[in-house]
Amino acid sequence: MPSLEPASRILGTGHYLPPTVRTNADLEKMVETSDAWIVERTGIHERRIAPEGVVTSDMAAAAAKSALEAAELEAKDLDLIIVGTVTPDMPMPATAVFVQQKLGAGHCPAFDLSAACAGFIFGLSIADQFIRSGAMKNVLVVGVELLSRVVNWEDRTTCVLFGDGAGAVVLGPADGAMLDGKPRGLLSTRIHSDGALAQSLMIPGGGSVTPMGPEVLEQKLHKVHMKGQDIFKVAVKNLYGASKAALDDTGMTPEEIDWICPHQANLRIIDFAATRLGVKMDKVLLNIDKVGNTSSASIPILLDQSLRAGKVRPGHTVLMCALGAGISWGGAIVRM
């Protein structure tokens, strides 16, 4: 949605990464792969793995607490909690209600949304609409994944890619906030889905199509199945398309953007998309080497790390873009 007058702005960000590191060398001992293959094809050197006993809502709540602190708000101030995840605590109820409990928030609505790696951008877009309409004031948007529990650790084509983590932002009314004569806030969000490519990336078992049972367990249908090449091709095209549309909404050129904060799925995808946009890699924020693909958590983790490192500063414009299972994808531009 184009929004020349920003309705909402980011009041605070936070992230959580579990302390356990799984390196490419560790994976060499688990499947037939090599550090050289993983680094050359993906840019990933290591990823974080949540220890037994830690669940998705624990990581989400930790990231959310940090975002609330940065926003100088209490959990009770939240009007809405949106959790983007494809690795919920359980199918029912929503992980968002466990996050609400763990934060000690009030009886605000709390729901999950399933847009895989694009989940955070979908969440931002929805939160912005609620704030724009005046229905809500402070909205928590979390991207969180515990992918290590749904990855088939015997499948080298997927297990090397993913990691665990959570990122969160608190979005609040822009209230006409300005910096250096320019409005601060969410300037545009663009979100899309194309179910024709649903087969390319799925956890096919355990739902109504093939309910949990011996067949699901034997064939590992409760684990991630991906046709990487299919996704790769469309990712470059659609990340460019959504980014360009978001830029057009704001009337900005790629040169006017301070930072690109792309979903961290594959360094080659990021490189191709940046080249197509005409942006040099020194403007692209990266942490894929350290965390791998954390799906919906990827962008908010990277944004928070970059803000805390002083790289992204108040007044900077950041273009975010992501694509994942669905396929679902999107782009967003924010002036911090």
If phi over 0 gives left and psi between -120 and 50 gives alpha, with beta otherwise, what is residue 156? Answer: alpha
* Residue 157 binds to ligand ACO (criterion: CB under 6 A): yes
Residues 63-82 interacting with ligand ACO (rule: CB under 6 A):
none
Pair of tokens at residue 27:
């994976």
The piece of 32-40, 120-128, 176-184, 279-287 that touches ligand ACO (CB under 6 A) is 32-40
CB of 48 to ligand ACO, least distance (A): 16
CB of 266 to ligand ACO, least distance (A): 4
**Residue among 164, 207, 210, 198 nearest 56 (CA):** 164
The length of the chain, given as a count of residues:
336
Q: Known catalytic residue: 287?
A: no
C-alpha dihedral sign at 108, 114, 120, 126: negative
CB of 33 to ligand ACO, least distance (A): 3
* Residue 121 binds to ligand ACO (criterion: CB under 6 A): no
For residue 209, give Cα distances in angstroms to 3, 113, 204, 219, 276.
40, 20, 8, 14, 39
Of these, 295, 305, 306, 317, which contacts ligand ACO (CB under 6 A)?
Answer: 295
Nearer to ligand ACO, 7 or 269 (CB): 269
Nearer to ligand ACO, 38 or 303 (CB): 38
Nearer to ligand ACO, 231 or 320 (CB): 231
Q: Known catalytic residue: 225?
A: no
* Residue 325 binds to ligand ACO (criterion: CB under 6 A): yes
Q: Are strands 139-146 and 80-84 parallel, antiparallel or unpaired?
A: parallel
CB of 161 to ligand ACO, least distance (A): 6
Pair of tokens at residue 53:
């006993």
For residue 223, give Cα distances in angstroms to 143, 217, 247, 269, 308.
20, 9, 37, 24, 34
The piece of 38-46, 64-72, 212-220, 278-286 that touches ligand ACO (CB under 6 A) is 38-46
- Contact yes or no for 31/151 (Cβ under 8 A): no
The total of other beta-carbon atoms located within 10 Å of residue 204's CB is 16
Nearer to ligand ACO, 23 or 253 (CB): 23
CB of 325 to ligand ACO, least distance (A): 4
* Residue 324 binds to ligand ACO (criterion: CB under 6 A): yes
Question: From the candidates 108, 117, 261, 321, which is the catalytic residue?
Answer: 117
- Contact yes or no for 288/48 (Cβ under 8 A): no
How many helices (H) and strands (E) in the chain? 11, 15
Question: From the candidates 15, 192, 225, 263, which is the catalytic residue?
Answer: 263
Listing DSSP states for 159-181 in one string gives HTTB-EEEEEEEEEE-TT-EETT
CB of 158 to ligand ACO, least distance (A): 7
* Residue 308 binds to ligand ACO (criterion: CB under 6 A): no
Q: Known catalytic residue: 321?
A: no
- Active-site positions? 117, 263, 293
Query: Where does this chain bind ligand ACO (CB under 6 A)?
Result: 33, 37-38, 41-42, 116-117, 156-157, 160, 201, 228-229, 231-232, 235, 265-266, 269, 293, 295, 324-325
